[in-house]
Structure 1
Amino acid sequence: MRLLLIAALFLLGIVFVANGIGFLLTPEQQAAGFGMGADGIQGLSTLRADMTAFFVVAGGALMWGAWRRAGDVLLVAAALVGIAFTGRFVSLLADGIYEGWWFPMGVEALTVVLALIGSRMLPHHAMKA
């Protein structure tokens, strides 16, 4: 069970990092898949910077936490993706549903649940001063 959890966390991390690299290299194409668009050069810069950062940090934390068996690192991914899930939930209440709304929320919910379970099952490493 533990090995399956670690594998799932690592694979999710790869997917997140791949999305981040996609935003870095081809922001307009990647953004279109997320229902977003860039408004000029500033918009492209924002997509490259912010979306790359979100996905690479979340994915990197998932991969690092799984690889190093470090439950504390998984909390970073859980927090980032949990906030994204909360934003989507608020948007559902404020703006209504859209076609396929459940898929990104399902991925985010799964990611948060697995990261939190991994955080509980894997050791937390004491920081050394």
Structure 2
Amino acid sequence: MRLILTALIFVEGLFFLLLGLNFLIMPTGAAVSFGLSPNGPAGLAVLRADFPALFFVGGAGMIWGAWKRNGELLLVPAAIFGIALFGRLVSVFADGAYPGFWFPMLVEAFAVLLAVAGSRVLPHQVV
């Protein structure tokens, strides 16, 4: 069970790294799939800076925690994707649902569940 959990955390971390890379290399295409449209060079800069930061740190945290089998490291991606999920929930209640709104929420919820479960199952480093 622990091996499967670690593998799932690692794979989802890779998924997030690829999402971040997609925003870095092809920000316009990635933005469209997220319901965004860049507004000139400033908008492209935001897409290339903020989205890779979110996905690289979250994904790398998942991969690092899984690779090192360190539950403490998984608390960072749990917080990152938990805040993203909370923002989506607020948006659903404040702005209403849209077609397919549940899929990104499901991905983020799965990331939080994996990271929290991994944090509980994998050992923590004592310094």
- TM class, shorter-chain normalised? over 0.9
* Distance in 2 (alpha carbons) for counterparts of 1:9 and 1:96: 31
Q: TM-score scaled by structure 2?
A: 0.98
* Distance in 2 (alpha carbons) for counterparts of 1:126 and 1:31: 41
The two structures, once aligned, show a CA RMSD in angstroms of 0.6
Matched position secondary structure for 2:99: coil
Aligned to 1:11: 11
Equivalent runs, 1:1-129 vs 2, <5 Å = 1-127=1-127
Report the CA distance between 1:37 and its aligned residue. Answer: 1.2
TM-superposition CA deviations, 1:7-60 (whole Å, max 9, x none):
000000000000000111110111111111100100000010000100000000
One-letter code of the match for 1:6? Answer: T
- Structure 2, unaligned runs of 5 or more: none
- Structure 1, unaligned runs of 5 or more: none
Structure 1's consecutive aligned runs of 4 or more residues displaced over 6 angstroms after TM superposition are: none
TM-superposition CA deviations, 1:44-77 (whole Å, max 9, x none):
0001000010000000000000010010110000
One-letter code of the match for 1:4? Answer: I
Report the CA distance between 1:126 and its aligned residue. Answer: 2.5
Matched position secondary structure for 1:8: helix
* Distance in 2 (alpha carbons) for counterparts of 1:116 and 1:17: 19
Q: TM-score scaled by structure 1?
A: 0.97
| Number of residues of Structure 1 aligned to a counterpart in Structure 2 | 127
Report the CA distance between 1:105 and its aligned residue. Answer: 0.3
Matched position secondary structure for 2:62: helix
Report the CA distance between 1:125 and its aligned residue. Answer: 1.0
